[in-house]
Structure 1
């Protein structure tokens, strides 16, 4: 059995997928399997995957979104840890060995999260080097709530048994489905955040799923609803940790929505999170966001 199951969902990214796979095949640590889920692609994805026959396990489904695609791979994976990689992102040769170092050092934590370097052109990653290992360990994911680092599924390794225990990803087509998963993994024992070295090159382009305004709104709305319905673990004693993480996302997304011309969606999230923000409380945001939103909306209209 391989130690890592590398899970790559893809949809109509044949050219980028080729580069992503190339970054996997240069890994220093080689005890892994690669599962690519073709989420109903209509481009040359099938041809790309055929060229890597024998090195990649290919799963196919009708187009249902990243969450369902990842869940299909989780069902078929046989590794001890699942590692998620988006089909437009890149790894460095030390990526898997760095995850392994954290797993060994901190005695098999449930979740390990790394750090990304954003790029538009691949040449920009030339300056990224393998810095000395630095990491922070927590009793579980929720305990990391005070730390404001970037959290996303493209930089996590998760014990496969824990993934299956919490049911994997939501099937909804929303942004931040990875944050929802992390909340459901929130009390699984052991969480490590690796500050260095950087382990993922995160490609920024117009087709990145995180850039969908409505899906971003729906993702945060879903998290608020899940919290309100008591669907996340930890009970009342961990509510502040959960709210710290959820509301940090709300504040970021409401500003982003406003700056991109959707103050209606921003205000909807503001209203839905009002009670939670009062509970924490976050007075600066509560009092400052409405007038800031109005001013930002006027600036957007004048462009």
Structure 2
């Protein structure tokens, strides 16, 4: 099987350098790499060209359209039997392609996704953010798990593969931002293709390097869920409302404490239990009290940022019916 690895890129030359280096270490070597610069001001042409003697690599520069349409551009130039998409802030384990190739030979999948994890080189904040994005206490098992509270498994485009047949049948992404990968996954499901999780196809996903960037990203994700609802109303599940409910509960708790009511004690007890569960679970996963403490901050940021973004667009696009 020949793979086409597709990397959309926007102003991240240093990160793509680290990603490309990990691809030179792959034990499975039947692949090409397509780096698509999406109108970047800080382009990575020189960095990409420095890998010409190490990888079968191709560099393209195009106007800025967003990651969904940038991947479509790459699909049109790819030669592989299978197209694999990575975000530019990922690091790929040396046996990743070996694991994917072995799994696909044993289990037919038209499209797949894989989990993400924190690399040992990540900063404590990056490890805390990674924990928050994969913790059962924050995402409810929606990410990186075939059996989750959100229904069908939907691969995320930071670590996702599709067969050439899927590309030819679907035409690729019809959204370029705001939940484009989930919409794409739902459409693949609806056309009868088989999608699954490859458990060992793990990538190390850096995500954001500070909490402010993380807040902005997750707020965008909350808005994206409403955008997906506009296309596929039946995919909005109870679990998607949890961050909004948590945010409302947090505001209510602050109000009860300000008014010094008896309900304040009950609300504070629930919050304390939640904080302790996050702390000790993260400590057991990361083996670090510092990361565990930062995981509490990351979890609260994730839930409130998603909840506020979700409520913002729920009010605007569903209640007020604005486009």
Regarding TM over 0.5, the answer is yes
Normalising by structure 1, we get a TM-score of: 0.67
- 1:145 and 1:155 map into 2 onto residues whose CA distance is 18
* 1:220 and 2:225 matched: yes
Deviates further, 217-226 or 26-35: 217-226
Deviation string for 1:121-177 (max 9, x for gaps)? 44889xxxxxxxxxxxxxxxxx96657778411222211221231121234332x21
CA contact (8 A) 2:223 2:309 kept: no
Name 2:22's counterpart in structure 1.
23
Aligned with 2:7: secondary structure? strand
Q: Larger radius of gyration, structure 1 or 2?
A: 2
Shift, 1:44, TM fit: 4.6
* 1:36 and 2:35 matched: yes
- 2:215 and 2:68 map into 1 onto residues whose CA distance is 14
Shift, 1:51, TM fit: 1.2
Shift, 1:271, TM fit: 8.9
- 1:84 and 1:269 map into 2 onto residues whose CA distance is 30
Deviates further, 146-155 or 17-26: 146-155
* 1:111 and 2:111 matched: yes
- 1:97 and 1:19 map into 2 onto residues whose CA distance is 20
- 2:9 and 2:73 map into 1 onto residues whose CA distance is 12
Question: Unpaired runs of 5+ in structure 2?
Answer: 127-145, 248-300
CA 1:259/1:160 → structure 2, altered by over 3 Å: closer, same or farther?
A: same
Q: How does 1:74-153 map to 2 (within 5 A)?
A: 74-106=75-107, 108-119=108-119, 121-122=121-122, 151-153=155-157
- 1:14 and 1:99 map into 2 onto residues whose CA distance is 27
CA 1:80/1:28 → structure 2, altered by over 3 Å: closer, same or farther?
A: same
Name 1:200's counterpart in structure 2.
203
CA contact (8 A) 1:12 1:42 kept: yes
CA contact (8 A) 1:117 1:198 kept: no
Shift, 1:258, TM fit: 6.5
Aligned residue pairs, count: 239
Aligned with 1:79: secondary structure? coil
CA contact (8 A) 1:168 1:181 kept: yes
Deviation string for 1:182-208 (max 9, x for gaps)? 11111433223122x352001131487
CA contact (8 A) 2:223 2:306 kept: no
- 1:264 and 1:56 map into 2 onto residues whose CA distance is 38
CA RMSD, aligned part only?
3.4
CA 1:52/1:76 → structure 2, altered by over 3 Å: closer, same or farther?
A: same
Shift, 1:222, TM fit: 1.6
- 1:3 and 1:262 map into 2 onto residues whose CA distance is 41
* 1:57 and 2:58 matched: yes
CA 1:209/1:177 → structure 2, altered by over 3 Å: closer, same or farther?
A: farther
Aligned with 2:204: secondary structure? strand
CA 1:19/1:219 → structure 2, altered by over 3 Å: closer, same or farther?
A: same
Question: Unpaired runs of 5+ in structure 1?
Answer: 126-142, 229-238, 275-303
Normalising by structure 2, we get a TM-score of: 0.63
